[in-house]
Amino acid sequence: MQHTISVLVENKPGVLTRVTSLFARRGFNIDSLAVGETEDPSISRITVVTGAESVPLEQITKQVYKLINVIKVTTLTPHDSISRELAMFKVICPPERRHEVFAIVNVFEAKVVDVSKDSVMVEATGTTDKLESLEDIFKGYGIKEMARTGVIALSRGSKEK
């Protein structure tokens, strides 16, 4: 089972290394990692998705909280949070097949952001499942390049800032 952990940290050099090193030392694989500044430029949010079991997960969240520069650690569940990911696909697409790819883009509420002689670049946001489905479909056409941001997530409502 995957778990999403949101870590608010001081926006200083080396903080990301300290957090990810802790995961590595405990033997937890990081499935997804996204970092960015919050509405306060002195604070960054690190969103980590890991496959850790529940008991060790509680231990690791406590250990992350003890790190220097860590302000707050929150475990987010699908019920109490919204998560999204961004992906860009450069799909092999000769002109005679563009209408097929454009139809798929419309169904997935994605965007075509570039068209070249033999490829189309598509930008998509959504849940990890949605992006994996889109990736599976595009594999049938051939993916030249792909980039994904990793999951970002916030708690619902006014529970947390």
Chain segment 8-34, per-residue pLDDT in tens: 999 999 999 999 999 998 888 899 999
| 139, pLDDT greater than 70 | yes
Please report the pLDDT score of residue 160 as a whole number.
52
Exposed / middle / buried, residue 30 (Cβ in 10 Å: 0-12, 13-18, 19+): middle
Question: What is the rounded (10 degree) CA torsion for 151, 49, 45, 128?
Answer: 10
Please report the pLDDT score of residue 161 as a whole number.
46
Read off the tokens for 18: 């300290």
**Are residues 35 and 45 in contact, defined by beta-carbon separation less than 8 angstroms?**
yes
Read off the tokens for 72: 């707050």
pLDDT band at 54 (very low <50, low <70, confident <90, very high): low
Residue 149: name the closest of 134, 128, 133, 129 by CA.
128
Exposed / middle / buried, residue 101 (Cβ in 10 Å: 0-12, 13-18, 19+): buried
Helix (H, G, I), strand (E, B) or coil at 102: helix
Please report the pLDDT score of residue 51 as a whole number.
83
Relative orientation angle of helices 15-25 and 54-66, to the nearest 10 degrees: 150
Residue bearing tokens 């419309």 = 106
Q: Which strand (E) or helix (H) includes residue 157?
A: none
What predicted TM-score, i.e. pTM, was given to this entire model? 0.86
Helix (H, G, I), strand (E, B) or coil at 132: helix
For residues 81-107, average pLDDT: 97
